[in-house]
Amino acid sequence: MRKIDKQQPPQLFTSWVKEKPTNINQNQRFEQLHEQHQWGIVSALRESLSAEQYYLCAYCCCSISGEQKDTMNEHVEARALAPQRALDYSNIVASCKNLGQCDNAHKGKPLPLTPLMPECETELKFSISGRVKGMTTRACVTIQTLNLGDTERNNRALIEKRKNIIQSLLFSEGLDPDDRITLEDDDIVYLLIEELKNIENGKLRPFSPVLINVVNNFK
């Protein structure tokens, strides 16, 4: 995960929230977006969230387009648990639509570690095997809830995808995880991390936060 710095909500959404009738609650107002086919507002929301996340899924960091085909507006604190936060832009992120993980796995469960917390970048540890491990209890719970690939049995597809991306990066940089890191490699690692933080046309490289996490463990 990568810490998300929330920006301002899109104007269309803000106006919609302001027009909420007093006899309904926030969650009912959010549901009206779909009931009343307010697709312009739904897609403005999705696009705005995707842009502030540099077009990476809030949870697994795969690439998202910001369009309906592969991107969801997702509540970090689930609407079932916090209906009063259903219209709170700081509680909404963009998630991928991959089955069995992220938004699709989250449902109404609590998330003790979220991409709105800076610790999300350090309490999850990725290895060159492609697997992820929680360094704290809350990280383990979040990994399980979102099914982020702690074991092949749980999410082989995601682990394989990460493994391939990690290995091709290490190979292209001439970094051998089995070798001891030398002083010279230290510079490569530093430059590589800077490169992985690079934003091009408003986009981060798919899985770049995962790659940074792996490379950081080389130091």
Q: Using CB under 5 A, pick the residue from 41, 57, 86, 214 that binds Zn ion.
A: 57
Q: Whole-number minimum distance, CB 176 to Zn ion, in Å?
A: 30
Q: What part of residues 145-204 is at the interface with Zn ion (CB under 5 A)? A: none
**Residues 117, 108: Cα–Cα separation, whole Å:** 19
Q: Using CB under 5 A, pick the residue from 33, 41, 45, 60 that binds Zn ion.
A: 60
Binding flag, residue 143, Zn ion (CB under 5 A)? no
Q: Are the beta carbons of 177 and 129 closer than 8 angstroms?
A: no
Binding flag, residue 59, Zn ion (CB under 5 A)? yes
Q: Whole-number minimum distance, CB 96 to Zn ion, in Å?
A: 3
Q: Whole-number minimum distance, CB 149 to Zn ion, in Å?
A: 11
Binding flag, residue 207, Zn ion (CB under 5 A)? no
Nearer to Zn ion, 41 or 93 (CB): 93
**Residues 94, 55: Cα–Cα separation, whole Å:** 9
Closest to 18 in 3D by CA, of 83, 72, 89: 89
Q: What part of residues 86-125 is at the interface with Zn ion (CB under 5 A)? A: 96, 102
Q: Whole-number minimum distance, CB 65 to Zn ion, in Å?
A: 13
Q: Whole-number minimum distance, CB 104 to Zn ion, in Å?
A: 9
Q: Whole-number minimum distance, CB 89 to Zn ion, in Å?
A: 20
Nearer to Zn ion, 59 or 207 (CB): 59
Residues in contact with Zn ion by CB under 5 A are 57, 59-60, 96, 102
